Structure 1
Amino acid sequence: MSPKRSTRDWVVDSVAFVVAILLALFTYTDGRSDPVPHPLLVVDFWSGMALCLTLWFRRRWPVQLALLAAAISMYSDAASGPTLVLIMTVAVHKPWRTSIWVFAANLFATVVYVRIRHTQDWKTLLIIAVILYVALAGWGQYIRSRRQLLQTLRDRADRAETVATLQAEQAQLRAREEIAREMHDVLGHRLSLLSVHAGALAYRPDASTEEVAGAAEIIRASAHQALQDLREVIGVLRAPVGELPQPAFSDLPGLVAGSREAGIPVELTLDAAGPMPEHVGRTAYRIVQEGLTNAVKHAPGEPVTISVIGAPGNGLSVELRNPAPNRRRGDGQGLKGLSERAALVDGRLEHGRTPDGEFRLYAWLPWPA
């Protein structure tokens, strides 16, 4: 099924039809001076007119109609007009090899016409035919090449737009993943500490007033800090440009101290002196933070051993150990986020049970010299 004809196609086809009719009438009138029998002139005229009518289908069957025109133009003067239009149509819509074959067929038809009509100035007629055929075929090939170039540019622009859209979607996805990791790490740790103190109050109904007040104050402070962290994240999301609040490696002792205040027995070994890249120190902080959160969630009240050792040129090793729970709880999103964080800085992360019944979280991060 051929594509629907546009308004421009209708205009072009109408102009081509009118031009072909005029050329057919001109050549037919001019050819009547030759000594040709009247019946042949009638066949000549109506063959040319019928060929003009086929121009309305030239887009659907350009090669077939051009070859038909070559056959009719062997004896018909009136076929010259539509023949020229069809030669150009083939050049516009078909490859140059096809145009050459159509050109050769029509040139052969012109030679046969000269032999049949015994035209005296046959050399001039052949030269004019060759010039017209070459000019129209060349013009048609130029139009075809220009259309292909424009289509290529449009396709390239569409591909570029598609790539830009995919890149924007990927950037949004990465931003969402970063926000999810930050909110999980920040709020998860705060809420885990809050849960520990709330659980302690629930399981110690005989606690003194001072102990209850102290635990309530810690709960209030933890909840307040969690809300403050959430406000900072939301504030950055609302701002046109900005980055999420990020901790530094120097905040690591404060993180451990906060866990100790919450009643978690934490032993910290910290031996990492020297200028450390911000992204490495931040990743180490998040690993320790997530490890403490998991320890509170899965092994509440159990001791946690943290070792952070490294030096420029040797890398930074972060290890957390705590008694493993009897069964695993949670969906593992935090550990998945830590693996992604470590991979982003070209590091690696390992986690799992040890033979002595502990849960071990280990990460190695590059620390350039």
Structure 2
Amino acid sequence: MAGEKAVRRGARGWAVDTVLFAFAVFAWLFLVGERIRAGMPSPPWLFEVDQLAGLIGLGLMWLRRRWPTQAAVAAIALSTVSETIAFPLGVLLFAVVVHRPLRTAALVYGLSLSATFVYWALRPDEGFSLLGSLVFSVVLLGAIAGWGLFVRYRRQLRARAAEQERAERERARQRAREELAREVHDLLGHRLSLLSLHAGAIEYRPDAPPEELARAAGVVREQSQLAMRDLREVVSVLRAPIGELPQPTMADLRDLVEEARPGMRIDLAVDADGEVPERSGRTAYRIVQEALTNARKHAEGAPVAVTVDGGPDEGLRVAVRSGPGADSGTGSGHGLIGLEERTSLAGGRLAYGPTAEGGWLVEAWLPWTA
């Protein structure tokens, strides 16, 4: 019983304790009146002891939040000579069952039953046999203990539900952080591939016409600025609540293709029947972005055809087909693996692989759902 954790008494606790104390005072006055009406116990001094024990029990009730077990044991000891302590004893037993380990609660319950034998031995003329007194105690104290167990397990269920909710929120935050990491990979990979392409053109074609060099340098400058802007957005989101990073939609797909056109031959065809849902549109944007980045890395100069079509009935279809290039490899494949996971989370399917012409094809189907 040492080291018991105290239960703090807030405003609601004070209100509950005050009401219980008022009921306990009423019960004490009622039992005293009934004893006077029914006749004094024998020996008569037990009446004064009974009243005093009942008053001490009223005080013990105020200790039930800090020392419920100790207060209950003290009340049990007093109940061996007092009937007016019945209400405080029930309140203290209830507190032990609710707030203390079941082993402690069972011990206190057993002690409260054993006090019945001492009470009957000291006051055998109360009108009840030993068996009757014991049955009455088992029923009354058992009802109090059962009520306490019900409250205890209901609180445990609420606490478990709250813990599960906290764990789910944490998992959601973790998923959001993983989503953010994928966004960073896709976004900066796209920007840096453009930088690499045009910086390489400047390096390996120093004899190119000045206007081409100027155009390539302009793309490098523009993409460098956009990459710095994206990094600032990412840092701001990592410092702020998750989810504030601007998310692309299908409406941004044409801008993505226009950004990638310098140095690439891209044919874009979009035929969506209605407004594409946000989640599917964002996933389609990322699929096209990753496919264009791979085409730029591994099929430089090859034509690329981007097709997006569908509707509410058949879903959204995305296809990015690139022609054969100097490098037919697929790199590490981490980007495509990430796309598979992203597409699966969106409820869709992704397939990719080489074409018969020696190019590369990325195909996806996405549900028409938000």
TM tier relative to shorter chain: 0.5 to 0.7
Does structure 1 residue 212 correspond to structure 2 residue 249?
A: no
| Residue 337 (structure 2) pairs with residue 336 (structure 1) | yes
Report deviation, 1:194.
0.8
Residue 266 of structure 1: how far off its partner (Å):
2.1
The Cα shift of 1:362 comes to 0.1
Could you tell me whether the CA contact under 8 Å between 1:84 and 1:133 is conserved in 2?
Answer: no
Q: What residue is the counterpart of 2:292 in the other structure?
A: 292
1:61–1:146 Cα change, 3 Å: closer
| CA displacement 1:189-219 (0-9 Å, x = unmatched) | 1111111111222323434544333322210
* Corresponding position of 1:361: 362
Residue aligned with 1:301, SS? coil
Q: How does 1:113-262 map to 2 (within 5 A)?
A: 127-239=128-240, 243-261=244-262
Q: Secondary structure at the match of 2:170?
A: helix
Matched, 1:320 2:320: yes
2:362 aligned counterpart, secondary structure: strand
Runs of 5+ unmatched residues, structure 1: 24-57, 70-78, 86-121
| Higher alpha-carbon deviation: 166-175 or 351-360 | 351-360
TM-score (norm: length of structure 1):
0.63
Which amino acid in the other structure matches residue 198 of structure 1? Answer: A
Instruction: Give, in whole Å, the separation in 2 of the partners of 1:155 and 1:362.
Output: 49
Alignment-derived partner of residue 21 in structure 2: none
Classify 1:303/1:142 alpha carbon distance in 2 versus 1 (closer, same or farther; 3 Å): same
Aligned to 1:59: 107
SS in 2 for 1:206: coil
Q: 2: distance between equivalents of 1:231 and 1:184?
A: 15
Give 2:73's match in structure 1, choosing from 13, 21, 35: 13
TM-score under structure 2 length normalisation = 0.63
Gaps of 5+ in 2: 5-66, 83-105
Q: In the TM superposition, what whole-angstrom CA distance separates every residue of 1:241-261 from its partner, at most 9, and x where no partner exists?
A: 864323332333332222221
- % identity of equivalent residues: 42
1:279 maps to 2:282: no
More divergent stretch after superposition (230-239 vs 156-165): 230-239
Q: Does the Cα contact within 8 Å between 2:349 and 2:366 map onto a contact in 1?
A: yes
Report the counterpart of residue 118 of structure 2 in structure 1: 81
AA at the equivalent of 1:277 = P
- 1:271, distance to aligned residue in structure 2 (A): 3.6
For 1:240-294, what per-residue CA distance to the aligned partner results, in whole angstroms no more than 9, with x for missing partners? Answer: 5864323332333332222221x02223344445443343333322211111012
What do you get for the CA RMSD once the two structures are aligned? 3.7
Deviates most, 342-351 or 213-222:
342-351
Asked if 1 retains the 8 angstrom alpha-carbon contact of 2:328 and 2:359, the reply is no
C-alpha distance in structure 1 between counterparts of 2:258 and 2:76, whole Å: 89
In 2, Cα distance between equivalents of 1:125 and 1:285:
86
Q: Secondary structure at the match of 2:300?
A: coil
Q: Deviations over 1:81-122 (max 9, x none)?
A: 17889xxxxxxxxxxxxxxxxxxxxxxxxxxxxxxxxxxxx9
Query: Structure 2 vs 1, CA of residues 288 and 331 (structure 1 numbering), >3 Å: closer, same or farther?
Result: closer
The SS at the match of 2:179 is helix
**Matched pairs, number:** 280
Structure 2 residue identity aligned to 1:59? L
Amino acid at match of 2:143: Y
Describe the shift of the 1:310–1:18 C-alpha distance in structure 2 as closer, same or farther (beyond 3 A). closer
User: Structure 1 pair 293/11, CA: closer, same or farther in 2 (3 Å)?
Assistant: same
SS in structure 2 opposite 1:304? strand
Cα distance change of structure 1 residues 156 and 194 upon mapping to structure 2, 3 Å threshold? same
Q: How far apart are the structure 2 equivalents of 1:133 and 1:153?
A: 29
Deviation at 1:125, TM superposition (A): 8.7
User: Aligned partners of 2:117, 2:316: CA distance in 1, in Å?
Assistant: 87
- Shift of residue 131, structure 1, vs aligned partner: 3.2
- Whole-angstrom CA distance in 2 between matches of 1:9 and 1:275: 66
